[in-house]
Amino acid sequence: MAKVLEPKTGKPEFHTVGRRIPKLDALEKVQGKAAYIHDLKVPRMLYGKILWSEHAHARIRKIDTSRAEKLPGVKAVITGYNTPEIKTGFFKDNPVLKKDKVRQFRDEVAAVAAESEAIAEEAVRLIDVEYEPLPAVFDPVEAMAEGAPLIHEDKDSNILKLPWKLVCGDMDQGRSQADFIVEESYSMPWVTHCCMGSSGCMAEFHANGNLTVHSPTQIRYLAQRDFGDAMKALGLKGKRVQVVNTAIGGAFGSKLDTYPFEFITILLAYYTGRPVKLVFSREEEFFATPSRQKVDARISQGCKKDGHLTFREVEMVLDNGAYTSWGATTPSVMMMPISSLYKVPNIYYEAKCVYTNNIYATAMRGYGNPQATFAIESQIDTLAEQVGIDPLQFRMINVNTPGEITPQGFQIGSCGLKECLESVRESLDWDNKKGKQDGRGVGLGSLIHVGGGARIYKSDGCGTIIKLDDFAKVTVMSGATDMGQGSDTVIAQIVAEELGVEVDDVIVVMGNTDMETWDVGAHASRTTFVAGNSALFAARKAKEQILDLAAPLLQAAKEDLSIKEGNVFSRSNPEVSMQLARVLRALHFKTGGTQIVASHFYDPPTQMLDREMKGNFSVAYTYGVHGAEVEVDKETGHVEILKYVIAMDVGRAINTMLVEGQLEGGAAMGIGYSLMEELKADQGKILNPNFLDYKILTFPDMPDITSIIIETEDQFGPFGAKGIGEPPLVGSAPAIANAIYDATGKRVRSLPIIPEKLVAQEDE
Amino acid sequence: MIQVKISFQLNGDAVTAEVPDHTTLLEMLREEFELLGVKEGCGHGECGSCTVLVDQKSVNSCLMLAAYVNGRTVQTIEGLAGAQGRLDPLQEAFVKHGAVQCGFCTPGMIMSAKALLAENPNPSRDEIRWGMAGNLCRCTGYVKIVDAVESVCKGGCSCGEGS
């Protein structure tokens, strides 16, 4: 099967780290045996369905549920008027069932539970709602204007009260030192996750009043807390909530918050006393799932004649939509490329998040970084051209290096940005291909992202419990979440490496809040780093216990003992050896015996951003460069990607094949963001809620990807690894836009770069 | 509502079912036969997650009425692995080449690849891409899926064996 990588000179030889080990659950998945929320069915289970708003902004005059209630097979019909008030979102501005008014077409007005999906759908159609339409606003700039309709009438403005401002150095000085200044505007559209498995959950109350929610969530433990709040509203304070993951059919940030549909399912289960499952149709997935928000940015940067950047100024307006979710916090990540991708001493950044009657904004892979990086990295090319320096060389002049402390207070440890740039130069044959404007062109986009967790909450921790049985089989209970990215496999490899056993001897149990210890969630590209370190340290503790207890058995000093290939042996005299399983049984089956169990809770040594938005909020930073060679058809504006390369400083690849999988999958999402994806709306109504009209990359659209893995061995990462979940889509848009400019001389400053924009006369 | 009685070959067995006439093949396979490896990704023939083989040809089972398969042969992902769980070479290749991430599209992908290789046992990478263009994946970027299918036609997984 997998081949052991040749040990490189000076590097430790690993027996499992670095290997191309197939994902542990792939065997189940290729046989169709993985159970997603869609596949879950328990006795007496009911089906839930939501009635959505028919207006973008309207008062609810009356809801008449009587016809629905009479339909045979309907077990409950709930509205905001016959249930306790439960609100979601970090500003608690989103009632799970809307009362008094709706603020978007996606608003939940009522819900039913019925014996079948068909009956539930029919019942929803039988609910009569009287609305009084209100003036609505869909443009965040208009929403900020005096006299604009207020989305939330208890607030005095549509502008969210959020601290998104970063000032570093002296902007006046930065501007006066600049010999060249470029100022431009960029805009990025609403796009959405498009998980192949739609959202859903199943809620079930037990006889003792405790609740179990089966869900493909990325945040079991935060969801447990949120659902616990709902229990209080139901008068069930103190009862337990268990959150169990089903197989997750894609997430990409879409399942990073709790949403009204989940609370509605809990309410339906509570009122019917039966398990209730609610699953979105594809259309609902498109219009009701919060998405990556539209951003308009004004950006200016200046540099000296020698190319050194002197300042960067960015102002943004983010369309937040009608409610808060994590989308409103993405400026905290946008600051990262603005302040810390290159050395730039003077920085001003300000972002306004604005309520509108559009769908609302949540996390999506990259978390604001793709938008910010598109603006920065496109403009770097423009600035370099003005100065007359090759854009790759221009980046080399300003590149960050290990040991740097950036103006935002990031302590850059490992940093392979230079190596990534060099690799892309070579891979794209940059020096020969750049600058011809003959219909073919090359371009690149650099990136920075958190690679060592991110202190967004007070805890950025993850717990692991490890036990070994009498046959030296290892069970790892991890708080981490696998959404398909392969955390199960990476954790197994890390534990196997540390314990000296084979990956096949390790199983990783995740996805049940009753069984493992806490984890903040699968976000911020943190799982390999944080959950990986947690697993590593737990394995180390287990190993210490084993060696302590094995020393007398083998009549050797503990310090002389090691474990390899399932054997405990003496390093000084390898003849002294005993099977690990025999050691474990000897420790267990005797009077006063013991079994090996170890646990560790790892929380990275980071700081929360302070009031000025400064601090070292990750232990490690991942750098990378996307490069593209494109051919643009002058007549049609069609863009063909001839070559696509990603060079990524991953610290160390725990599993090279899974790293490539992240790079390739991220690139597909990034290329889609660059060239075709956009959620289109008319007066707040989504016009393209299906895969025919919302384009994602298909097989023929996708080029082969050249993955270049740079290993800088981060001092804090597990075996040197850094996180790489999000970076593979962050640099796509500028790389492609810059390549298109190199091919055609046309600078497109709005995404997606559809053919119409390339055949238009003016620059967009 | 009219009930229709359907007899067909399902994963090698002769079976019958009685379903309302508007039932799709997808609904019948999932609900009557509990073949949950057949995934509904969109319900409109856009994503390919529900791909099964009807008389060796790949179809979106969400677009086909159950009644259509009367007298025909249907194969789903559950019918691909042989006795004692011996995997089809395509299944092995998907595992080995890292072509599986979240896995939701995987059964449909494998069934499409099966149909493609039945028609064209030695496709080029581009022929694989066009042959499977109706199946969407949001996780992998397709590259490793092309790798997996290509390895089977190159004989990497003992082509021709399996079901």
The ipTM assigned to this model is: 0.96
Q: Which chain A residue has its CA at the smallest distance from B47's CA?
A: A691
Cβ of B142 and A282 within 8 Å? no
A421 shares its domain with A547: no
Residue B23's domain is classified under what CATH number? 3.10.20.30
Span B57-66, average pLDDT: 98
What is the three-class DSSP state of A135? coil
Span A353-377, average pLDDT: 98
pTM of the model: 0.96
B162 domain-assigned:
no
A592 shares its domain with A658: no
A656 shares its domain with A569: no
d(CA B31, nearest CA chain A) in Å:
10
Cβ of A31 and B105 within 8 Å? no
CA A452 to chain centre: 14
Q: What does the alpha-carbon distance between residue B49 and residue B34 come to, in Å, rounded to a whole number?
A: 16
- Asked if A656 contacts A248 with a C-beta cutoff of 8 angstroms, the reply is no
Q: What does the alpha-carbon distance between residue A494 and residue A42 come to, in Å, rounded to a whole number?
A: 36
Cβ of A690 and B37 within 8 Å? no
d(CA B72, nearest CA chain A) in Å:
22
B147 shares its domain with B93: yes
- Chain B residues near residue A23 by CB distance under 8 angstroms: 95, 98, 100-101
A365 shares its domain with A417: yes
B158 domain-assigned:
no
pLDDT bucket at A30, cuts 50 / 70 / 90: very high
d(CA B30, nearest CA chain A) in Å:
9
Q: What is the pLDDT of residues A437-494, one digit of tens each?
A: 889 999 999 999 999 999 999 999 999 999 999 999 999 999 999 999 999 999 999 9
Of the residues A602, A627, A661, the one at which a domain ends: A602
Burial readout B98-114 (b: 16 or more C-beta within 10 A, e: otherwise): bbbbbbbbbbbbbbbbb
SS3 letters across chain B = CCEEEEEEEECCEEEEEEEECCCEHHHHHHHHCCCCCCCCCCCCCCCCCCEEEECCEEEECCCCEHHHHCCCEEECHHHCCCHHHCCCHHHHHHHHCCCCCCCCCHHHHHHHHHHHHHHCCCCCHHHHHHHCCCCCCCCCCCHHHHHHHHHHHCCCCCCCCCC
Of the residues A279, A306, A323, the one at which a domain ends: A279
Span A54-64, average pLDDT: 98
Q: Is the pLDDT reported for residue A276 higher than 80? A: yes
What is the pLDDT at residue A11? 54
A161 domain-assigned:
no
Residue A626: which of A323, A369, A309 has the closest Cα?
A369
Structure-block tokens of residue A423: 């690799």
Span A4-22, average pLDDT: 71
Q: Which chain A residue has its CA at the smallest distance from B79's CA?
A: A31
Q: What does the alpha-carbon distance between residue A516 and residue A220 come to, in Å, rounded to a whole number?
A: 11
* Sign of the CA dihedral running A710, A716, A717, A723: negative
Residue B113's domain is classified under what CATH number? 1.10.150.120
Q: Is the pLDDT reported for residue A13 higher than 90? A: no
Percent of chain A, pLDDT > 70? 98
Residue A536: which of A483, A599, A488, A479 has the closest Cα?
A599
Residue A474: which of A390, A376, A544, A542 has the closest Cα?
A542
Q: What is the pLDDT of residues A634-659, one digit of tens each?
A: 999 999 999 999 999 999 999 999 99
B54 shares its domain with B115: no
Q: What does the alpha-carbon distance between residue A222 and residue A236 come to, in Å, rounded to a whole number?
A: 18
What is the pLDDT at residue A5? 37
What is the pLDDT at residue A763? 56
Q: Which of A28, A247, A691 sits opposite B136 (nearest CB)?
A: A691
Apex CA A262: angle with CA A261 and CA A265, to 5°? 85
Strand-pair category, A276-279 with A46-52: parallel
3-state helix, strand, coil in chain A (%, to 5): 30, 25, 45
Q: Is the pLDDT reported for residue B155 higher than 50? A: yes
Cβ of B98 and A668 within 8 Å? no
A436 shares its domain with A369: yes
Q: Which chain A residue has its CA at the smallest distance from B101's CA?
A: A484
B20 domain-assigned:
yes
What Å distances lie between residue B155 and A557, A586, B24, B56, B158, CA to CA?
A: 52, 48, 36, 21, 5
Diameter over CA atoms, chain A: 86
Q: What is the pLDDT of residues A548-603, one digit of tens each?
A: 999 999 999 999 999 999 999 999 999 999 999 999 999 999 999 999 999 999 99
CB pairs under 8 A between A and B: 178
Strands (E), A653-743: 681-682, 685-686, 705-710
CA B59 to chain centre: 8
Q: What is the pLDDT of residues B63-90, one digit of tens each?
A: 999 999 999 999 999 999 877 779 999 9
- Asked if A57 contacts A134 with a C-beta cutoff of 8 angstroms, the reply is yes
Cβ of B95 and A32 within 8 Å? no
A472 shares its domain with A556: yes
Structure-block tokens of residue A245: 């993951």
**What residues of chain B, 76 to 95, have a C-beta less than 8 Å from chain A?**
76-78, 80-81, 85, 87, 91, 94-95
Structure-block tokens of residue A726: 């999000």
What type of residue sits at position A656? T
Q: What does the alpha-carbon distance between residue A56 and residue A360 come to, in Å, rounded to a whole number?
A: 12
Of the residues B32, B58, B79, the one at which a domain ends: B79
* Sign of the CA dihedral running A583, A585, A588, A594: positive
A245 shares its domain with A378: no
Cβ of A39 and B80 within 8 Å? no
Structure-block tokens of residue A740: 């298109």
CA A762 to chain centre: 36
Span A134-159, average pLDDT: 97
Q: Which of A30, A285, A655 to mutate to test the interface with B (most CBs of B within 10 A)?
A: A30
Name the one residue in this structure whose structure tokens are 């309302």.
B20
B141 shares its domain with B111: yes
Cβ of B138 and A250 within 8 Å? yes
A117 shares its domain with A258: yes
B97 domain-assigned:
yes
Average pLDDT, whole number, for chain A? 96
| Residue B109 at interface with chain A, using a CB cutoff of 8 Å | no
d(CA B71, nearest CA chain A) in Å:
25
A532 domain-assigned:
yes
Q: Which of B102, B105, B129 to mutate to test the interface with A (most CBs of A within 10 A)?
A: B102
What is the pLDDT at residue A762? 60
| Residue B118 at interface with chain A, using a CB cutoff of 8 Å | no
Q: What's the total number of domains in chain A? A: 3
A1 domain-assigned:
no
Q: Is the pLDDT reported for residue A187 higher than 70? A: yes
Q: What is the CA radius of gyration of chain A?
A: 27
What is the pLDDT at residue A4? 34
- What residues does A94 pair with on adjacent strands? A88
Q: Is the pLDDT reported for residue A16 higher than 60? A: yes
Residues 6+ apart with CB under 8 A from A220: A243, A245, A479, A481, A511, A512, A513, A519, A521
B74 shares its domain with B124: no
Cβ of B37 and A700 within 8 Å? no
- Residue A399 phi/psi, 5-degree rounding, is -60, 145
If one counts every other C-beta atom within 10 angstroms of the C-beta of residue A553, the result is: 14
Q: What does the alpha-carbon distance between residue A325 and residue A361 come to, in Å, rounded to a whole number?
A: 6
Element (H, E) at A320: strand A309-321
Q: Which chain B residue has its CA at the smallest distance from A193's CA?
A: B138
A596 domain-assigned:
yes
Residues 6+ apart with CB under 8 A from A110: A50, A51, A63, A65, A68, A77, A78, A79, A97, A124, A127, A129
B160 domain-assigned:
no
A711 domain-assigned:
yes
Q: Which domain holds residue B74?
A: 3-79
- Chain A residues near residue B1 by CB distance under 8 angstroms: none
B103 shares its domain with B130: yes
If one counts every other C-beta atom within 10 angstroms of the C-beta of residue B26, the result is: 23
Q: Is the pLDDT reported for residue A334 higher than 70? A: yes
Structure-block tokens of residue A717: 């990462």
- Residue A535 phi/psi, 5-degree rounding, is -65, -40
Q: Is the pLDDT reported for residue A713 higher than 50? A: yes
* Sign of the CA dihedral running A257, A358, A375, A148: negative
Q: Which of B100, B138, B143 sits opposite A696 (nearest CB)?
A: B138
What is the pLDDT at residue A530? 98
A353 domain-assigned:
yes
| Residue B41 at interface with chain A, using a CB cutoff of 8 Å | yes
Q: Which of A282, A692, A696 sits opposite B43 (nearest CB)?
A: A282
Cβ of A665 and B105 within 8 Å? no
Element (H, E) at A509: strand A506-509
Q: What does the alpha-carbon distance between residue A666 and residue A336 come to, in Å, rounded to a whole number?
A: 19
Q: Is the pLDDT reported for residue A83 higher than 90? A: yes
- Asked if A398 contacts A342 with a C-beta cutoff of 8 angstroms, the reply is yes
A182 domain-assigned:
no
A116 shares its domain with A258: yes
B163 domain-assigned:
no
Q: What does the alpha-carbon distance between residue A704 and residue A723 come to, in Å, rounded to a whole number?
A: 23
- Chain A residues near residue B43 by CB distance under 8 angstroms: 281-282
- Asked if A185 contacts A673 with a C-beta cutoff of 8 angstroms, the reply is no
- Chain B residues near residue A659 by CB distance under 8 angstroms: none
Q: Which chain A residue has its CA at the smallest distance from B104's CA?
A: A249
A255 shares its domain with A234: yes
Q: Is the pLDDT reported for residue B34 higher than 60? A: yes
Element (H, E) at A622: strand A621-632
- What residues does B9 pair with on adjacent strands? B14, B73
Q: Which of A23, A28, A29 to mutate to test the interface with B (most CBs of B within 10 A)?
A: A29
Q: What's the total number of domains in chain B? A: 2
Residue A716's domain is classified under what CATH number? 3.30.365.10
- Asked if B5 contacts B17 with a C-beta cutoff of 8 angstroms, the reply is yes
Apex CA B74: angle with CA B70 and CA B77, to 5°? 155
If one counts every other C-beta atom within 10 angstroms of the C-beta of residue A414, the result is: 26
User: For chain A, give me the number of helices (H) and strands (E)?
Assistant: 20, 30
Cβ of A32 and B42 within 8 Å? no
Q: Which domain holds residue A253?
A: 37-134+199-279
Cβ of A702 and B142 within 8 Å? yes
- Chain B residues near residue A34 by CB distance under 8 angstroms: 103
A435 shares its domain with A317: yes
pLDDT bucket at B160, cuts 50 / 70 / 90: very low
What is the pLDDT at residue B1? 79
Name the one residue in this structure whose structure tokens are 């290990």.
A402
Q: What does the alpha-carbon distance between residue A670 and residue A407 come to, in Å, rounded to a whole number?
A: 28
- Chain B residues near residue A115 by CB distance under 8 angstroms: none
What string of DSSP letters covers A226-250? HHHHHHHHTT-TT--EEEEE-B-S-
B159 domain-assigned:
no
d(CA B25, nearest CA chain A) in Å:
16
| Residue B113 at interface with chain A, using a CB cutoff of 8 Å | no
CA A328 to chain centre: 15
- Chain A residues near residue B46 by CB distance under 8 angstroms: 282, 690-692
- Chain B residues near residue A657 by CB distance under 8 angstroms: 97-98, 144
Asked if residue A752 has a cis previous peptide bond (ω within 30° of 0), the answer is yes
Residue A77's domain is classified under what CATH number? 3.90.1170.50
B98 shares its domain with B35: no
What type of residue sits at position A45? M
Name the one residue in this structure whose structure tokens are 């309709």.
A149
d(CA A335, nearest CA chain B) in Å:
27
Element (H, E) at A669: helix A656-675
A350 shares its domain with A467: no
What is the pLDDT at residue A90? 94
Of the residues B44, B79, B114, the one at which a domain ends: B79
- Chain A residues near residue B53 by CB distance under 8 angstroms: none
- What residues does A750 pair with on adjacent strands? A187
Q: Is the pLDDT reported for residue B159 higher than 90? A: no
d(CA A663, nearest CA chain B) in Å:
9
CA B73 to chain centre: 13
A285 domain-assigned:
no
What is the pLDDT at residue A10? 45
Q: Which of A32, A483, A697 sits opposite B102 (nearest CB)?
A: A483
Q: Which chain A residue has its CA at the smallest distance from B146's CA?
A: A699
B7 domain-assigned:
yes
B56 shares its domain with B91: no
Of the residues B79, B104, B138, the one at which a domain ends: B79
